[in-house]
């Protein structure tokens, strides 16, 4: 997945979605950032992000999403939006 540039608009979205770190840090890992966006972004946030994230990038973010970030409802919704129905299983944490 390609990087999402730090612009005034993406900075505002990143600040709201990943409030616990700087926007620049949040956008450094686009897969992780998009996982948070899929779980917490508003419609307006997604309109901003979709300028930079293609459907292919979105599918990559779903395929590589870190476990524990996206809730099951959001997982089902975004997979459906990307033509994946039924949705594959949510990413699972692996111990050991």
Residue 24 lies in a domain: yes
Domain of residue 68, residue span: 8-81
Average pLDDT score, the chain: 96
User: How many domains is the chain built from?
Assistant: 1
Residue 87 lies in a domain: no
Residue 94 lies in a domain: no
Residue 77 lies in a domain: yes
**Global confidence as pTM:** 0.94
pLDDT in tens, 15-26: 999 999 999 999
Residue 44 lies in a domain: yes
pLDDT in tens, 26-75: 999 999 999 999 999 999 999 999 999 999 999 999 999 999 999 999 99
Least Cα distance to 26 among 76, 40, 55 occurs for 40
Per the CB < 8 A criterion, the answer to whether 27 and 3 are in contact is yes
Q: How confident is the model at residue 6 (pLDDT cuts 50, 70, 90)?
A: very high
Residue 57 lies in a domain: yes
Residue 69 lies in a domain: yes
């Amino acid at each position: 997945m390609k990087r999402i540039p730090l612009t005034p608009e993406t900075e505002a979205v990143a600040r709201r979605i990943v409030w616990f770190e700087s926007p620049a840090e949040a956008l450094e890992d686009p897969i992780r950032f998009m996982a948070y966006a899929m779980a917490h972004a508003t419609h307006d946030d997604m309109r901003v992000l979709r300028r930079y994230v293609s459907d292919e990038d979105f599918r990559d973010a779903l395929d590589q999403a870190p476990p524990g970030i996206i809730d099951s409802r959001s997982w089902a919704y975004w997979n459906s939006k990307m033509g994946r129905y039924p949705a594959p299983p949510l990413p699972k944490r692996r111990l050991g």
